Chain A
Amino acid sequence: MNGNVFSKLIVYLFLILGVLVFITPFIYMVMTTFINGAYSLPKPQEVFTAVPNLENYEIVWNKNSFFRYFLNSLLVAGVATIGSVFLGALTAYAFVRFTFPGKELLFRIFLFTMMIPLVLAIVPQFTVIKNLGLVNTYWGLWLLYIGGGVVGSTFFLRGFFETVPKELEESILMDGGGNWTIFRRIYLPLSKPALGTMAIFSFSGTWDEYFVALTIIKDEAMRTLPIALMMFQGKYASNWSWIFAASLIAILPVIIIYIIFQKKFVQSGHSEGAVKG
C-alpha cells in the first residue's frame, strides 16, 4: 500500500471537498423545489429545512404546455442524434477505409474548419436555411445540427474506426460481401462504445441547444425546452421553486442517460465538437 494514513487523509479530504463544491449547488437546487409558494428569494434556512414533496413539479408540468415543449425537444434531439451518429459513421468510414484522389486535401479542410469558431458561420447558416425555405421547421434545425456537426462527429469516430483490424474484412470479402456489408457487420458493431458515446454527446448537445433553435423556430407551439425554460424564467422571475422544478425536469433525461451509460463512456477530445451548433 502506498502512503501513510496521514497522506491518505489529505488526499480524501481534497477529493471530498471537490465533491462538495460540485454537489452542494445541485442539492440546494433540489431542496429549493420543495418550498411551496415561494414568491421571492427563499432564505437559506427555509431551503435547508424544506420537506420533500412533488407539488411544484406537478404545477410546472401542467403549466404553459411544458409537456408539449418536452415532447418537441425529444423529437428534435432524437432525430438529430440518430442523424448525426449515422452520418458521422458513414463519413468516418469513407475516410478510414477508402483511398481516393483529394482525400488528404479534404481531410485538411475538415480539420481547418474545426479550428474556426462557428459563430462566424451562424449568420450565413441562417441565410442558407432561409433560402431553402426551412425557417420555422424542424428540418431546418435538423439540417443545421446534423450538417453542422458532421465534421466533429467524423473526427471523433475516425479515431475508433482506425483501430478496427483490417483482417476482419477478409472473411466478408470471401463470402462475397461488399463495402456496405463490411460497414454494417464489422465497423458498426465493433465501434458500439464510440457510437454510444457520440450519441450521448449529440443528444445532450441538441437537447440543450438554445441559440440556433431561437433563430430558426418562430412558432410558439414548436419551441424547444431551453427556449421554453428561458421564457418561463422571464415570466416567473422570482419564483425560484418553480424555475428549478422546471429546470430539473428539463435536465433529467440527459442525467439519467449519462448515469446509465457512464461506465461505458469512451474518452473523447471532442465533447465540444460533437455538436457544433
Chain B
Amino acid sequence: MDPNLNHNDSDVILSTKKPFSERFKKGAKQWLDVSPFLLIGLAGASIFVIYPLIKGIVMSFQDYNIIPGAESPFVGLENYKKAFSDPAFAYAVRNTFLNTVVTVPINWFLGLFFAVLINIQFVKYKITFRTLYYLPIITSWIVVAFLFRYLFADGEDGLINFLLVNLGLVDEPISWLQNQWTAMIVIWLFHIWKTVGWTVVIYLAALQGIPKNLYEAAAIDGASGIKAFRFVTIPMLRPITAFVIINLIMGAFNFFPQVYFITNGGPMGQTEVLQSMIYKQAFSNFNFGYSSALGVMMGLTIFLITLTQQKKLSNQKFM
C-alpha cells in the first residue's frame, strides 16, 4: 500500500531516536515539500467532501433552517424517530432492499457470463463486443430514462407491449408505470441494462490478467474446459469479485436517477427509494434535518454492509 515502505522504515527507526524538535523540523520540511502538490486537493476535499459529511451528521440532529441568521435548534433524535413513523420511509427502505437483492445477483451473473464468453479463445471481435456492451454506460441517464419510458409506454404501441402481445405472451397491453410491481420491474430492467456493461468490462480485464501458464499447468494435470474454469478461473477472480460485489451493492443502494427519471416515486410513492426521498425532502420540502437523518442512516447501512470487504478494497492493486 505504501510505495515508500523501505524508505519509510529507515525513517521511522531514525526518527524515534531523534529529539522532538528535530523530528518536528523534519516533518515541517516534508510538509513544505509536499504542500504545493497536496494543499489544493486537500482544501477541495476538506471543503466539499469532508466538511459537508460532518456537517450532514450534525444537521441530522437539528431542526435545520437554511435562512441565514435563523435558529437551528438541536432536537436530539427527533428526525430519526420521525422516519420510523413515516410510511414513505417504509416504502423507501423496502424498495432499496429489494433493488439490491434483485439487481445485484442478476447484474453479477450476467456480467461474469458475458465476460467469460467474450474471453473464450476462439471468439473474434472482442473489442467490438466490449464496446457495444459498454455503450449504455456512457449514455446519459436522462436519455436512457426517456428511452425506457418510450419502450415501456402504455397501450399496444409501446414496443415492449407490441412484442409481448404479438408473441402471444400477454393478452392485454400492460400499463407498466401505473402499477407498483410492473413499475419496479421497469426500474430493475433499466438499471441492469444501463450498468451491466461495467461488470462485463471489469471481469473481462480480470480474466485477461490471469496468467496463461496457470491454464497450461492445469491442462497438464488433466483439467481443461469446465474443470479449469472451476479450479483456476474462479479462485483467481475472487478478489475482483469482492470488489465487483461491493460496487454493485453501492450502486443498488444509490438508485436515484433510475427512480427519479422513470417514475419519480410513483404510483403514490410506492417505488420511492432512499436517495430520491433524501433529495426531495431537502430540495422540495426543505426538511434539511430530516433529509440528513435519512442520509446518515443510509450511509451507516452501506458502511456496515461493506465493512468486511473494505480492507480488501483498500489493499486493492487492481485499479
Interface residues of A (CB under 8 A from B): 1-3, 8, 11-12, 14-15, 18-19, 21-23, 25-26, 28-29, 32, 41-44, 47, 87-88, 90-91, 93-101, 104, 106, 109-111, 113, 115-125, 127-128, 130, 143-144, 146-148, 150-151, 154-156, 158-160, 162, 179-180, 183, 204, 207-208, 210-211, 215, 226, 229-230, 233, 240, 243-244, 247-248, 250-251, 254-255, 258-259, 262-263, 267-272
Q: Which residue of B lies closest to A210 (CB)?
A: B142
Q: Which of B140, B253, B279 contacts A122 (CB 8 A)?
A: B279
Q: Is the CB of B129 within 8 A of A15?
A: yes
Q: Is the CB of B45 within 8 A of A229?
A: no
Q: Is the CB of A128 within 8 A of B52?
A: yes
Q: Is the CB of B295 within 8 A of A43?
A: no
Known: A2-B120, A22-B132, A98-B37. A116 touches B53 (CB 8 A): yes
Mark B111-141 against chain A: 1 for CB-CB distance below 8 A, else 0.
0011001101111000101111111111111
Q: Is the CB of A115 within 8 A of B56?
A: no
Chain B residues closer than 8 Å to A154, beta-carbon distance: 41
Measured in the bound complex, the distance between the Cα atoms of B42 and A100 in whole Å is: 14
- B299 on the interface (CB 8 Å rule)? yes
Q: Is the CB of A226 within 8 A of B59?
A: no
Q: Is the CB of B47 within 8 A of A113?
A: no
Q: Is the CB of B314 within 8 A of A116?
A: no
Q: Which of A44, A229, A271 contacts B157 (CB 8 A)?
A: A44
Q: Which of B132, B141, B318 contacts A208 (CB 8 A)?
A: B141
Known: A26-B135, A211-B279. A159 touches B146 (CB 8 A): no
Chain A residues closer than 8 Å to B256, beta-carbon distance: 119, 211
- B236 on the interface (CB 8 Å rule)? no
Measured in the bound complex, the distance between the Cα atoms of B41 and A266 in whole Å is: 23
Q: Is the CB of B135 within 8 A of A22?
A: yes
Q: Is the CB of A109 within 8 A of B146?
A: no
Q: Is the CB of A229 within 8 A of B142?
A: yes
Known: A41-B157, A120-B292. A269 touches B247 (CB 8 A): yes
Chain B residues closer than 8 Å to A43, beta-carbon distance: 157, 162
Chain A residues closer than 8 Å to B48, beta-carbon distance: 121, 125, 128, 143-144, 147-148, 150
Q: Which residue of A lies closest to B307 (CB)?
A: A115
- The interface-forming segment of B27-35, B74-82, B83-91, B98-106 is B27-35
Q: Which residue of B lies closest to A3 (CB)?
A: B122
Q: Is the CB of A117 within 8 A of B295?
A: yes
Measured in the bound complex, the distance between the Cα atoms of B257 and A210 in whole Å is: 9
Q: Which residue of B lies closest to A276 (CB)?
A: B49
Measured in the bound complex, the distance between the Cα atoms of B219 and A206 in whole Å is: 48
Q: Is the CB of A267 within 8 A of B201?
A: yes
Q: Is the CB of B282 within 8 A of A123?
A: yes
Q: Is the CB of A117 within 8 A of B51?
A: no
Measured in the bound complex, the distance between the Cα atoms of B27 and A243 in whole Å is: 59
Chain A residues closer than 8 Å to B282, beta-carbon distance: 122-123
Q: Is the CB of A123 within 8 A of B56?
A: yes
- B38 on the interface (CB 8 Å rule)? yes
Q: Is the CB of B247 within 8 A of A272?
A: yes
Task: For the complex of A and B, list the 4 residue pairs with the smallest distance between their C-beta atoms, beginning with the closest.
Answer: A159-B319, A91-B41, A147-B44, A147-B48
Q: Which residue of A lies closest to B124 (CB)?
A: A12
The interface size of chain B toward A, counting residues with CB under 8 Å, comes to 102
Chain A residues closer than 8 Å to B123, beta-carbon distance: 11-12, 15
B27 to chain A, nearest CB (A): 4
Q: Could you list 27 examples of A-B contacts with CB < 8 Å? A: A19-B133, A41-B158, A44-B162, A94-B41, A98-B34, A109-B50, A117-B250, A117-B295, A119-B278, A120-B299, A121-B55, A122-B279, A124-B52, A130-B66, A147-B48, A156-B319, A158-B319, A208-B140, A226-B140, A243-B146, A255-B139, A258-B138, A262-B130, A267-B201, A269-B202, A269-B243, A272-B247
B297 to chain A, nearest CB (A): 10
Q: Is the CB of B140 within 8 A of A250?
A: yes
Chain A residues closer than 8 Å to B316, beta-carbon distance: 269
Mark B226-261 against chain A: 1 for CB-CB distance below 8 A, else 0.
000000000000000001000100110110110000
Q: Which of B168-194 contact A (CB under 8 A)?
A: 193
Q: Is the CB of B131 within 8 A of A262?
A: yes
Q: Which of A110, A121, A123, A267 contacts B288 (CB 8 A)?
A: A123
Q: Which residue of A lies closest to B126 (CB)?
A: A15
- B143 on the interface (CB 8 Å rule)? yes
Chain B residues closer than 8 Å to A259, beta-carbon distance: 131
Q: Which of B8, B59, B306 contacts A123 (CB 8 A)?
A: B59
Q: Is the CB of A268 within 8 A of B319?
A: yes
Q: Is the CB of B157 within 8 A of A183?
A: no
Q: Is the CB of A100 within 8 A of B34?
A: yes
Q: Which residue of A lies closest to B129 (CB)?
A: A15
Known: A117-B253, A269-B316. A240 touches B150 (CB 8 A): yes
- B93 on the interface (CB 8 Å rule)? no
Known: A99-B8, A125-B52, A128-B48. A2 touches B121 (CB 8 A): yes
